Structure 1
Amino acid sequence: MANVSLRNIDKSFGETKAVRNVTFEVAKGEFLVLLGPTGAGKTTTLRLVAGLEKPDAGSVLIDGADVTSAAPASRDVAFVFQQYSLYPHLSVYDNLAFPLRSPARRMPEDEIRSRIEAVAGMLRIGGKLQNRSTKLSGGEMQRVAIGRALVRRPAIYLMDEPLSSLDAKLRADLRLELKRIQRDLGATILYVTHDQIEAMTMADRIGILSEGRLVQVGSPREIYADPDNVYVAARLGQPSINVLPLGALPVRSAPRTAYSVGVRTEHLDISRDGGPGANARLDWVEHLGDQNHLHIRLGDHRLTILAQPGTDLSAGEALRIEAANPLFFDEDGRRIR
């Protein structure tokens, strides 16, 4: 496995700036996730590392070697795409064997079989090796697509939202499988997604992208608890952080330059109050099984927060809400610490 560095990378397509002065490093054996909405520059960044795009400025290094101008085939990377990209006329075994039989890295058949059986065991598709890929479920096809990258044993794995087309249960299962495999192999993975759950559960570190810029990089806990701005704060957390104008919610102290306040469930003290101290009303309770979302009206503003499944609060109740240790932001949305 290798480390990967991007240094001051710029990439434009016509008038559109897809990547703007991006710099970061993926350490050996690290699982780094780039998180952001559509158009943030996630896939373009992967394609720049793979050599499928050439940067307008900056450099790409793999294991210390500058590969900015190198051909994709010489970079020793494996790319897992959002769509399965399997050969429908081939069996699962032959799909997995395909990259090992290419002229660039042809291997003896006994070694190919050994690698395939090991990877199939890790992915729990050992009983499907003789099936045509068209006879597989969606989850099995994606496992084969991931397996085709794993048998290569490249310097780095690049994964472009490989789980986004699967149903919720399969996504949850494969998230755990992929993280387990990454730890077992000590693999270096650069993974992109718009799904905060994937980022939180799999990443060693998360990089937040916005309009081609890398806004913040840190551990999932750091990104959640200590965001640099409103944009980053809104990327993680379910329900999303509530951002209110300063003064809309009682706070115990606020910086002089604070313009808005960000509150999650853990930042709020909530109590029933049918008297003059009430400042909010519970509009409705959204029951989600293992948790509830409370939808609260606070003057002209609305808040959504979490509550335990056994909460005895009900719609229409008057509440007293106060913020304790919230996040403060200035007029431009930057965090005030």
Structure 2
Amino acid sequence: MAEVILRNVTKTFGTHTALDDVSMTIPDGSFVVLLGPTGAGKTTTLRMVSGLDTPNSGEIFIGGMSVQGLTPAQRNVAMVFQQYSLYPHLSVRQNLEFPLKSPLLKTPQKTIDEKVNAIAEVLQISHKLDNKATALSGGEMQRVSIGRALVRNPQIYLMDEPLSSLDAKLRADLRVELKNIQAKSGATLLYVTHDQIEAMTMATHIGVLEEGRLVQFGSPREVYEAPVSVYAATRLGQPRINVLPAKLFAGAPDKAQSIGLRPENIVQGAGEDALVTRVEHLGDQTRLHLTFKQHNLVTVTDPHTGFRGGETIKIQPDKPLFFDAAGMRIA
């Protein structure tokens, strides 16, 4: 595996700037997740690293070597797209074997069989190995697509929302398995997702992209607890962070225009009155939807709470985040 460095990478398509002077270091053996809405530049970043697209300016290094002008094969990367990209006329086993049968690798058949069987078991497709790819469900095809990357030993794995087409249970299972595989193998992995649960549970580092710019890069905890802006703060957290006018609460810094309160950072039982408008019981927690000085907010409370809609409770902020008029964090 290898360290990957993007240095001042810019990519434009006509008049649209997809990546704007992005610099980022993906440490060797790390699991880096890119977060951001559609159009933020996540997939473009993957395509830059893979060699499928070429930057207008800037450089990319893999394993300490500039990869400018190298093809995806020469870069030795493995990529999993949202689309399945399988060979329909081949069986599942043949699709999984295909990368290992490259003349460049010269992998012994015994090693191929061992790798294919091990990955098929992890991805719960052992019973489908002799089926044609066209006979699989969408979720099964995506698992084969993931498996075809995992059987290899590339310098970096590049994954573009690989779990998005799977059902909730399998998605949760594969989150655990992917993280285990990455941790045990020491693989370097760059992963794109809209799912913040995937980001929080799998990533060693998170890169937050906004309109082609990298606005924050750090551990999941750092991005969650110390976001650099309102935008970065809203990328993580379920329920989302409450962003309210700073003047609603006493003690805001002079330049603060807004206050950010994570749902778990709203203390109940002290402070000022808020009206409970809705109660959501979710098993492991209960969400309270509140109206406070004509502003809506959400907090969490004990799963066995007796609160009901229409009640009044007292609340006050704990560990608030303050932001200026531009939405940037005030330390």
Residue deviations 1:72-125 (CA, integer Å, cap 9, x gap): 220000000112222222111100111222344443433322322233233343
CA contact (8 A) 2:272 2:316 kept: no
- Aligned equivalent of 1:324: 318
CA deviation after TM superposition for structure 1 residue 181, in Å = 1.1
2-structure distance, mates of 1:48, 1:292 = 43
CA contact (8 A) 2:239 2:263 kept: no
- Aligned equivalent of 1:283: 277
CA contact (8 A) 1:81 1:162 kept: yes
CA contact (8 A) 2:33 2:193 kept: yes
CA deviation after TM superposition for structure 1 residue 150, in Å = 1.4
Counterparts of 1:139-178 in structure 2, within 5 Å, are: 139-178=139-178
- Aligned equivalent of 2:268: 270
1:333 aligns with 2:327: yes
2-structure distance, mates of 1:318, 1:117 = 59
CA deviation after TM superposition for structure 1 residue 278, in Å = 5.0
1-structure distance, mates of 2:28, 2:134 = 36
Structure 1 segments unaligned to the other structure (5+ residues): none
SS of residue matched to 2:280: strand
Structure 2 segments unaligned to the other structure (5+ residues): none
1-structure distance, mates of 2:204, 2:163 = 18
1:202 aligns with 2:202: yes
- Aligned partner of 1:86: which letter? L
Residue deviations 1:24-44 (CA, integer Å, cap 9, x gap): 111111100011110000000
1-structure distance, mates of 2:23, 2:207 = 11
2-structure distance, mates of 1:315, 1:70 = 62
- Aligned equivalent of 2:252: 254
- Aligned partner of 1:293: which letter? R
Counterparts of 1:67-106 in structure 2, within 5 Å, are: 67-106=67-106
SS of residue matched to 1:247: helix
Alignment equivalent of 2:303, drawn from 291, 304, 309: 309
2-structure distance, mates of 1:119, 1:316 = 53
Residue deviations 1:262-287 (CA, integer Å, cap 9, x gap): 11123222228xxxx85321111122
SS of residue matched to 2:247: coil
Report the count of equivalent residues: 331
CA contact (8 A) 1:80 1:146 kept: yes
Between 1:86-95 and 1:212-221, the stretch displaced more is 86-95
2-structure distance, mates of 1:183, 1:122 = 15
Counterparts of 1:180-259 in structure 2, within 5 Å, are: 180-248=180-248, 250-251=249-250, 253-259=251-257
Counterparts of 1:109-124 in structure 2, within 5 Å, are: 109-124=109-124
CA contact (8 A) 1:122 1:181 kept: no
1-structure distance, mates of 2:236, 2:64 = 32
TM normalised by structure 1 equals 0.93
CA RMSD of aligned residues (A): 1.6
2-structure distance, mates of 1:70, 1:265 = 47
SS of residue matched to 1:117: helix
Between 1:255-264 and 1:189-198, the stretch displaced more is 255-264
CA contact (8 A) 2:2 2:155 kept: yes
Residue deviations 1:43-63 (CA, integer Å, cap 9, x gap): 000000000000001001000
